[in-house]
């Protein structure tokens, strides 16, 4: 195992359990929990405060935790407690196991920006439970609204909660109610011992049932079946394992029918796996089920079993399982008689019973583990089609995580002329035809990211509109003028967008401090300052692909746009030329290209300034320039400056935001006069240059901490 693998923390899954009372769902989830690799996956169990049978000791021993929240009937308190818990623990996955009620915890999870929200269908419904069905039918249409993933224990349960269309599209993952098959194997010694303890003769026919005493399990009908069966087969007993609100009612009925000596109420047992060996036939007349785990357990024990027609056919995994189509006492009696007659002489043969390996918890746990541990999918959304600072940052982040199997990333933009730049950096791309809502929705649907990393306010706004329930991180790469004042964009961003995103990354202090609404940013948002960094090794590696030779005094590296002020750059070159000969490179493209070319020609600078246009690999040119000159009107933390520092190239700049905290103020100029003085001073004094370069080495070691930068990004993703 590598050091990276050793240092990986397990994925913490928040399991929403509702009221824990020792039912089938709790049994299924705990069974999976016992068989997962806890170095890879851990569970936090979130249970209602009125839960009665939480196995605290076992959960703690396995490395899990339990959190109690108000019961869902106290809905406002329930939702607030869940949202606070999700935010505090920063879960990547919330897995809700409460069927139609999952809409509530998944709504809270969405508000807390949890990227993976699983709705798990564990059952169906029955028309006879009309009161419960009113609530179910109201909530069922919302089952998919806040979920990102759909799980079901069976096809029937999946179709019930998520609909036929969703199921037929393959969007529902079947997670079987699997068990440890060996644990439930028929045990002749346990049969003999437990029958003696219970006072049951070996010749006595034992009908068994395991389940909570609730209407769904249909105990009332089961008692009617047993009463009728005893009239023909007096040497018979009924074992009822479980507890529940209807237990006393069923006991009263048994007493009224004079069956108290023949019906054994065993309560909640820890040895249910052994009690299956005591039984001769298992009867499950439930009104409805998803995929009953007791049905799987009993078949694993080689036990003949009778299901009602309210149970999914998927539970039939052995030749001894039968469905009773009619919910009538006589139909059950007939089926029981047939099964008993066919199996009376072959009890010992139950030791060789086999069932489908799909129900093996060992195999199914591996499948679930893979689903939990699948890479986090991150879509980097870019609104521009020219390769510049924001695009460079997105590529850098993607490459930082390229060897990490926990992440899968794609660059999403109108690629245009950026294609060669992306190819040379080996960036996986999801290309847009146009940067509009329609195309972005299509891209999100195709890739289905867990997180959208939006690189500027425009991308953030579009991400919120185009996505449904995705975690969105907004990355503000510049101190935008429209964010410093009351404008349509700043108003939309604050009053709407801030409510829909999880995090904001600002690339400089001033980008945050100058934001007009900086003092009232939504408190639920994680707002951080994370300065850009450059990987010098990656940069020099790319530079090595350029075999040309260059030599320049000054370089302009950026978009030919007003914000970068290329006209001022040309004006400064003109003034320097009047004092000394100078050779200049202008690398970049943009809407001002024609104007820039006209200005160069106007001042007869054609022999001094070489226009390179947009370059997929500008780094060889940068490495062979003496100074980087930045004339921007505003910036965040300019990538071109960081690249120059990484290459040990001196920077002279306007006092833009990010550089105020990095560069010595004597190299930050406001007037043209100061610019010319500083540039001439450096070009004509190598000692000054050498001293500046020594300062840059120290600056580079401080600001270009790639590992620290990656760790901060990873915190946001997790």
The Cα–Cα gap between 412 and 396 comes to: 14
In a domain, 356, yes or no: yes
Q: What is the pLDDT of residues 521-556, one digit of tens each?
A: 988 888 999 988 888 888 888 888 899 999 999 999
Sheet holding 451-454, edge to edge: 429-431, 407-413, 376-381, 451-454, 471-476, 503-506, 526-529
**Predicted local confidence at residue 285, as pLDDT:** 95
The Cα–Cα gap between 282 and 610 comes to: 87
pLDDT band at 293 (very low <50, low <70, confident <90, very high): confident
Same domain, 9 and 87: yes
Give the CATH number, domain containing residue 134: 3.40.50.2000
In a domain, 266, yes or no: yes
**Predicted local confidence at residue 2, as pLDDT:** 40
pLDDT band at 387 (very low <50, low <70, confident <90, very high): confident
Do residues 661 and 509 lie in contact, with contact meaning Cβ atoms separated by under 8 Å? Answer: yes
Same domain, 121 and 141: yes
pLDDT band at 460 (very low <50, low <70, confident <90, very high): very high
pLDDT band at 127 (very low <50, low <70, confident <90, very high): low
Same domain, 578 and 700: yes
Distances (CA, A) of 19 to 13, 50, 70, 125: 18, 6, 10, 19
Same domain, 393 and 505: yes
Residue 626: Cβ within 10 Å count: 18
Is this model's pTM higher than 0.85 or not? no
In a domain, 303, yes or no: yes
Do residues 658 and 638 lie in contact, with contact meaning Cβ atoms separated by under 8 Å? Answer: yes
Same domain, 160 and 207: no
HEC-encoded secondary structure of 542-553: HHCCCCCCCCEE
**Predicted local confidence at residue 509, as pLDDT:** 84
For residue 53, give the nearest of 219, 244, 214 by alpha carbon. Answer: 244
In a domain, 479, yes or no: yes
- With residue 377 as reference, give the H or E element that holds it: strand 376-381
Dmax over CA atoms of the chain, in Å, equals 118
Q: What is the pLDDT of residues 554-576, one digit of tens each?
A: 999 999 999 999 999 999 999 99
Q: What is the pLDDT of residues 237-292, one digit of tens each?
A: 999 999 999 999 999 999 999 999 999 999 999 899 999 999 999 999 999 887 88
Name the 3-class secondary structure at 8.
Answer: coil
In a domain, 534, yes or no: no
Top pLDDT among 600 and 136 is at: 600
Same domain, 438 and 458: yes
Do residues 653 and 557 lie in contact, with contact meaning Cβ atoms separated by under 8 Å? Answer: no
Contacts of residue 677, Cβ cutoff 8 Å, sequence gap at least 6:
none
In a domain, 718, yes or no: no
Same domain, 559 and 580: yes
Same domain, 80 and 130: yes
Structure tokens at 696: 């840059």
Instruction: Tell me which residue has tokens 């999100």.
Output: 444
**Average pLDDT for residues 141-149, to the nearest whole number?**
91
Number of domains in the chain: 4
Same domain, 198 and 164: no
Top pLDDT among 386 and 633 is at: 633
Mean pLDDT of all residues belonging to the chain: 91
Last residue of a domain, one of 159, 174, 189: 174
The Cα–Cα gap between 449 and 378 comes to: 5
Same domain, 170 and 187: no
In a domain, 537, yes or no: no
Last residue of a domain, one of 145, 174, 203: 174
In a domain, 714, yes or no: no
Last residue of a domain, one of 174, 205, 224: 174
Same domain, 155 and 198: no
Do residues 670 and 655 lie in contact, with contact meaning Cβ atoms separated by under 8 Å? Answer: yes
Domain that holds residue 205: 181-364
**Predicted local confidence at residue 3, as pLDDT:** 39
Sheet holding 305-308, edge to edge: 263-267, 236-241, 205-210, 281-284, 305-308, 321-324
Same domain, 471 and 565: no
């Amino acid at each position: 195992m590598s050091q990276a693998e050793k240092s990986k923390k397990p994925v913490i899954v928040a399991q929403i359990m509702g009221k824990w009372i020792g039912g089938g769902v709790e049994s299924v989830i705990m069974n999976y929990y016992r068989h997962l690799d806890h170095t890879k996956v851990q569970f936090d169990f979130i249970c209602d405060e009125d839960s009665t049978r939480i196995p605290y000791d076992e959960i703690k021993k396995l490395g899990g935790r339990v959190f109690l929240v108000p019961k869902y009937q106290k809905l406002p308190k329930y939702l607030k407690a869940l949202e606070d818990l999700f935010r505090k623990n920063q879960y990547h996955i919330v897995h809700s196991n409460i069927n139609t009620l999952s809409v509530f915890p998944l709504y809270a999870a969405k508000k807390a920006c949890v990227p993976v929200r699983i709705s798990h269908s564990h059952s169906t419904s029955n028309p006879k439970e009309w009161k419960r069905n009113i609530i179910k039918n109201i909530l069922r249409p919302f089952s998919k609204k806040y979920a990102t993933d759909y799980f079901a224990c069976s096809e029937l349960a999946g179709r019930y909660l998520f609909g036929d269309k969703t199921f037929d599209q393959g969007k529902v993952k079947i997670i079987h109610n699997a068990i440890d098959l060996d644990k439930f194997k028929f045990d002749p010694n346990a049969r003999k011992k437990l029958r003696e303890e219970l006072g049951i003769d070996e010749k006595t026919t034992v009908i068994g049932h395991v389940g909570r005493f609730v209407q769904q399990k249909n105990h009332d009908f089961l008692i009617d079946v047993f009463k009728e069966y005893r009239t023909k087969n007096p040497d018979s007993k009924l074992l009822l394992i479980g507890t529940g609100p209807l237990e006393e009612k069923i006991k009263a009925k048994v007493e009224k029918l004079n069956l108290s000596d023949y019906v054994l109420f065993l309560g909640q047992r820890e040895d249910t796996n052994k009690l299956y060996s005591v039984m001769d036939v298992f009867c499950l007349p439930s009104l409805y089920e998803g995929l009953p785990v007791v049905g799987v357990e009993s078949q694993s024990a080689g036990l003949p079993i009778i299901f009602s027609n309210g149970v999914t056919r998927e539970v039939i995994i052995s030749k001894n399982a039968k469905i009773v189509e009619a919910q009538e006492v006589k139909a059950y009696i007939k089926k029981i008689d047939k099964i008993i007659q066919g199996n009376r002489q072959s009890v010992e043969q139950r030791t060789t019973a086999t069932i489908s390996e799909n129900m093996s918890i060992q195999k199914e746990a591996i499948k679930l583990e893979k689903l939990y541990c699948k890479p986090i999918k991150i879509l980097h959304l870019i609104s521009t089609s020219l390769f510049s600072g924001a695009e460079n940052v997105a590529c850098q982040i993607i490459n930082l995580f390229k060897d990490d199997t926990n992440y899968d990333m794609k660059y999403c933009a109108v690629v245009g002329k950026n294609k060669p730049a992306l190819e040379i950096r080996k960036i996986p791309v999801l290309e847009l035809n146009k940067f509009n809502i329609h195309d972005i929705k299509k891209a999100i649907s195709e890739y289905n990211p867990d997180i959208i990393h939006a690189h500027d306010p425009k991308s953030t706004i579009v991400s919120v509109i185009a996505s449904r329930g995705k975690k969105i991180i907004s990355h503000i790469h510049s101190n935008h003028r429209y964010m410093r004042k009351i404008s349509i964009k700043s108003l939309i961003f604050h009053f709407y967008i801030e409510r829909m995103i999880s995090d904001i990354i600002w690339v400089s202090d001033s980008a945050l401090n100058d934001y007009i609404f900086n003092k009232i940013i939504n408190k639920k948002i994680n707002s951080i300052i994370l300065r850009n960094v450059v990987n010098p090794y990656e940069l020099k590696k790319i530079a090595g692909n350029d075999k040309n030779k260059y030599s320049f005094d000054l370089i302009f590296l950026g978009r030919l746009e007003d914000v970068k002020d290329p006209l001022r750059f040309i004006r400064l070159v003109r003034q320097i030329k009047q004092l000394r000969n100078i050779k200049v490179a202008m690398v970049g493209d943009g809407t001002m290209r024609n104007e820039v070319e006209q200005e160069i020609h106007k001042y007869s600078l054609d022999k001094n300034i070489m226009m390179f246009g947009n370059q997929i690999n500008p780094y060889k040119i940068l490495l062979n320039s003496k100074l980087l000159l930045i004339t921007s009107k505003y910036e965040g933390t300019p990538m071109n400056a960081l690249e120059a520092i990484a290459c040990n190239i001196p920077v002279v700049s306007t006092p833009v935001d990010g550089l105020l905290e990095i560069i010595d103020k004597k190299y930050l100029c406001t007037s043209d006069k100061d610019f010319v003085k500083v540039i001439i001073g450096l070009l004509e004094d190598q000692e000054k240059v050498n001293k500046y370069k020594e300062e840059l080495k120290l600056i580079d070691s401080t600001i270009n901490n790639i590992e620290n930068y990656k760790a901060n990004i990873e915190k946001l993703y997790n």
